[in-house]
Amino acid sequence: MRIKQPEIIYEDEAIIVCRKEAGVAVQTARAGQADVVSLLKNYRAKKKEEPYIGLIHRLDQPVEGVMVFAKTPQATAKLSAQVSSRSMEKEYLAVTTGVPEPQKGELRDWLLRDGKTNTSAVVARGTSQAKEAVLDYEVEQVLEDAQQALVHIWLHTGRHHQIRVQFAHAGYPLVGDTKYGKPEQGGRYCPVALCSCRIGFLHPVTKKKMEFVIEPKGKAFSGVAKDTKNV
């Protein structure tokens, strides 16, 4: 796919808020492969600015959404502290296979990451190196004759593949998620039906509360995006 410059939603002397498209990596070690961090560095370099970009949080490559990056090491430290203290607010929209029951609730699991396969799995509490994963959710719409649901998610921890793993473990894998759900018929590629739709944090310099909301626009949300304006 052709990688283009991320859409800049907001920018000042300390931060850049942008939209990451589905299919684009946030950061990659592969030579010659464009990612959001390198594209933003090039963007700053073209403006004759120091091409520093501080990575604060991540989104999986097949996921779209709003992200914040720092433009100075000081801003990186302050924003990263908000992530560590769980004070940075992150909300998502997802389309699940099946309708979660109950339609409003909490998922609390322990996840263990496998670096060799780049996957995570739900394991028993107390498992060595496992980390607690917590989210709240609420079904917003029932879709496709009750075969799918649009779900609003409030993420409280940022574990590897957390939302995808927890919903798959609960029996409701995300639409398009071939890693934790069912393969697409005919081998067709479809982005995971997951969008980071809102992010909230304190500005690292002014301490002002910042909030950014977007609507999903990927084909994974075809037919439901128009109904998510009040997220």
Q: Is 177 a catalytic residue?
A: no
**What are the beta bridge partners of residue 16?**
11, 69
Q: How far apart are the C-alpha atoms of 49 and 43, rounded to whole Å?
A: 9
Contacts with 115 (C-beta within 8 Å, 6 or more apart), sequence order: none
Structure confidence at residue 185 (pLDDT): 47
pLDDT in tens, 32-79: 678 999 999 999 999 999 999 999 999 999 999 999 999 999 999 999
Q: How far apart are the C-alpha atoms of 199 and 194, rounded to whole Å?
A: 14
Domains of the chain by start residue, with CATH: 7-216 (3.30.2350.10)
Structure confidence at residue 88 (pLDDT): 96
Classify the phi-psi angles of 178: left when phi > 0, otherwise alpha if psi is within -120 to 50, otherwise beta. alpha
The whole-number mean pLDDT for each consecutive block of 10 residues of the chain, a chain of 231 residues, reads 84 98 85 86 96 96 96 98 95 96 98 95 97 97 88 95 98 94 60 95 98 88 57 48
Q: Which of 35, 60, 109, 177 is catalytic?
A: 60
Q: How far is CA 31 from CA 28, 34, 161, in A?
A: 8, 8, 24
Structure confidence at residue 225 (pLDDT): 44
